[in-house]
Amino acid sequence: METLSVSASHGGTQGVYAHQSAATGTRMTFSVFVPPQAKAGPVPVVWYLSGLTCTHANVTEKGEYRRLCAELGLMFVAPDTSPRGEGVADDPAGSWDFGLGAGFYVDATEAPYAANYRMWSYITDELPALIAAEFPADMSRQSITGHSMGGHGALTIALSFPDRFRAVSAFAPIVAPAQVPWGHKALGGYLGPDTAAWRKHDAVALIEDGARVADILVDQGEADGFLAEQLKPHLLADACAKAGIGLTLRMQPGYDHSYYFISSFMDDHLRWHAERLA
């Protein structure tokens, strides 16, 4: 692991790191905030998964999480959203919602993406092992959150590993990618045309197929331009109601899809996680 930068913040440290990933076959960059409580021993870990076009830097620079993470004693880990570098396949049409920056937190099976786009294995296996080895992380106390495409990733990963993650939340998540254009493009391009293979990467489908968590917190801006076509939180609400999952879905008037929205409700999400990680 290479340390790219470390800065003091709120009594802890904000670092940016890189390593050569076996899962993606590329150099991957991620950020970690270590709170001051880690000086006395391992601390719980909150994973944050970013959205389309983002890197680790978006939430690191705009998320406004460090003050409360320092107060609550939470480590905050923010990975990148896709493999990058020379030779990594991108969308031949050059669109922003597929390819580089849009790994969708799946292990691709379709050429040419299968060679590098293995973000599911990277997030659920390789990076946690690295965090456990290199940082004062209490891996028995983990939770996960994310935004948009990252909210999709947080929900599907938490539903797939309910014994690993004590809490899950999301900001404006893509809850049912199999039913929206972003999902059709990403899941079809990475996993192929067999929609049955898409179900383990669709939160609503996972719940329909029996996956369970105790509760979920979702914030969604009512002024989000992607709300009606791409996000459709009512589908998650319906699935959770049928499955008996406690969903707190908060529709926030006036808020859009940006980090102004995310940073406004970050404290609420961190307190949600801290209560369940205690």
Catalytic residues: 148, 224, 257
Nearest to 223 by CA among 244, 265, 252: 252
Rg (CA), the chain: 17
CB-facing half-sphere around the CA of 11: CA atoms within 13 A: 14
| For helices 149-160 and 181-191, angle between their N-to-C axes, nearest 10 degrees | 60
Q: What CA–CA distance (Å, rounded) separates 202 from 206? A: 6
How many other C-beta atoms lie within 10 A of the C-beta of residue 141?
20
CB-facing half-sphere around the CA of 159: CA atoms within 13 A: 28
User: What's CA 224's distance to the chain center, in Å?
Assistant: 19
CA dihedral angle for residue 159, residue 161, residue 162, residue 165, rounded to 10 degrees = -110
- CB of 11 within 8 A of CB of 35? yes
